[in-house]
Structure 1
Amino acid sequence: MSDILIKGAEELNISIEEKDINSFEIYKEMLKEWNTKINITTITDDEDIDIKHFLDSLTPLVTNLFDGKKNLIDIGTGGGFPGIPLKIIKRELNVTLLDSLNKRINFLNEVINRLELEDIIAIHARAEEMSIKPVYREKYDIAISRAVASLNTLSEYCIPFVKLGGYFISMKGPDAEEELKSGNNAIKVLGGRIVDKKLICIPESDIMHSLIIIEKIKETPTKYPRGGGKPRKNPL
């Protein structure tokens, strides 16, 4: 069993069981195996996977927003981060993993099957196309993203998925102040408001990351998100 995961979970006040550790170990081996065939991650060292993928993915649990049977969407999930680690620990979560690369979706489906996870699906789609569909728009308690994009761009991709009273959690690096300033207008336009910014040290490391927590207080105007790559090319 991974001492790093056990110690890291303790630092985050997360209860982690032996079956959870076993799930993480299987996940890690699948990640390394599939990574030889398709590009999923540049992080391939065992300890680095434990710290930079698994423990980092679990840091949002310090917000206490994940208790109970919540609907969660992980946008730009890549190799399943943070959605699958959160699901392993919080089995009652109903999770949607969204990614625009179908090869990654194939990998995620294999992980879901191998770990026998329930109430979790992986969808191949672009966020701006999916969030305009009534079945997905404003249906989630939490939208979360660890994707590499500016906060104003990410907000346009993510906030339309969040129901009134729900939250968008953006996982960022330690220097998020400039992004908060430049993203504030977009967040307001899209119906959100910044309620907290937590600076967190990833356990068993000296890596600092930020969690930007945005509450959905108004419905997102129907013209958002814009298509044609406009959220990236011309952020709000």
Structure 2
Amino acid sequence: MPFVEISKNVFDCAVCEHKCDSTSKTVFDFDNDIEFSNYIQNLVIGLINRINNSIEAFQFEEETSYPDIIVRRKNSSEEIAFIEIKVQARTFMKIRELLPESNLYPSETLALNLSDLERYFAIKDKTHNPVFIVWCLVNRACITGLNFESLKFFHQELDVLRRIRSSDTRDARKFRRKSGRGDVNESGEHKGVVVNYHFSINELNSGLPFFE
């Protein structure tokens, strides 16, 4: 039996036969990371446009501080929502040890760059449009399945994430790791994420946002 489920989306990692990759990269392949992220963004755009007849999702054509995807009514320039895509391929295996007060387990945990999260709060306050964070989870067999190419989407609107963050007055879900040479690209720019905030899959919705 490959997986022992303790509760919803919480598995016993000690007996798991399919260990997750928890190792931070010593050297990041930033170009490939961006290429894969763009692939997932285009996949999400296609899926959303296919299941929603009244809206259109677009990738921002130029680099901005806004989330990856803008959603508009068809035949309209009115922005009705923003979507940020986060691809997660690694698992925080030591979260019980390093963040014991989080009450999170590795299998259920998803991470988000804290500075990004705070930036999205500001965008939501400015635009008053819904902002959805979509996690694309890969390489976590107990959640995504045994097929190496399998992936699963989870999403949540920013106001829900804000309530979770605001209620965490002890920063029990915040983790700062040491910065290493793998965080810096060939141009000398710091690209690696150093401070993450963590959520449970059980606090999110499965799949992609649906717009009426």
Q: TM above 0.5, one fold?
A: no
When normalised by structure 1's length, the TM-score is: 0.28
Greater percentage in helix:
1
Greater percentage in strand:
2
